[in-house]
A and B are shown apart, each in its own frame.
Chain A
Amino acid sequence: DQQVKQNSPSLSVQEGRISILNCDYTNSMFDYFLWYKKYPAEGPTFLISISSIKDKNEDGRFTVFLNKSAKHLSLHIVPSQPGDSAVYFCAASASLILNFGNEKLTFGTGTRLTIIP
């Protein structure tokens, strides 16, 4: 049973436009959410996170939005750049202390983002 779902396996966006990656979860105990980015032949790297006490977190071109009632989060990248082409994994944890919760992190299946120059 996939508790964290990324329903779009792939997404193509024109350079300079906004990229929106979506993630849905089913476990209402999840209280901390993260996005990891993965280039080919490399391991994932941490991008941005949000705790359930917030509905938005911003870091430069990257913003994550959390809608707890809909059990949905999204990652916005504005403006999109060619270097953003990668696979993006959404992850969630029921950490109890609203922080990373690495020992029980549940990952989604990933969305491959391609930025078209």
Chain B
Amino acid sequence: EAQVTQNPRYLITVTGKKLTVTCSQNMNHEYMSWYRQDPGLGLRQIYYSMNVEVTDKGDVPEGYKVSRKEKRNFPLILESPSPNQTSLYFCASSWEPNNSPLHFGNGTRLTVT
């Protein structure tokens, strides 16, 4: 089944404790992206990747890192999480950035205390 898989689905952590949210897609998509969803703000892009080893900042990249060492995986790294990063995170992918819609994962709800 074609899908974007995020792990974990739920995560509660404390301020400053490094964490990684994994994202993997099995559709051989070139383009991958991370979003956060917050009440009243909709979905905001954190980082995106046009292909392996090519990443770029979205609208809200502060406090996040990403890597794209292989095509299928695009982990989101929070080196020192803070409470304002409490949010619902979505990973998404598409064949190319301009020719097909995004396929989203089911989300990761992160709480930072």
Q: Which residues of A contact B (CB under 8 A)?
A: 2, 4, 6, 34, 36, 41-46, 49, 89, 91, 95, 97, 99-103, 105, 107-110
Contact = CB atoms under 8 A, between A and B. Distances in A.
Contacts of B41: 2, 109
A100 B97 contact: yes
Nearest to A104: B45
A100 B101 CA distance: 6
Given A103-B33, A103-B56, A43 B92 contact: yes
B74 interface: no
B42 A4 contact: yes
Given A41-B107, A43-B107, A49-B101, A103 B31 contact: yes
B42 A110 contact: yes
The interface centre, meaning the residue of B33, B90, B102, B105 with most chain A CB atoms within 10 A of its CB, is B102
Contacts, number: 72
Interface string B84-113: 000000101010011111111111000000
A46 B91 CA distance: 14
Interface in B5-57: 31, 33, 35, 40-45, 48, 50, 56
Contacts of B92: 43, 102
Given A4-B42, A109-B42, A43 B101 contact: no
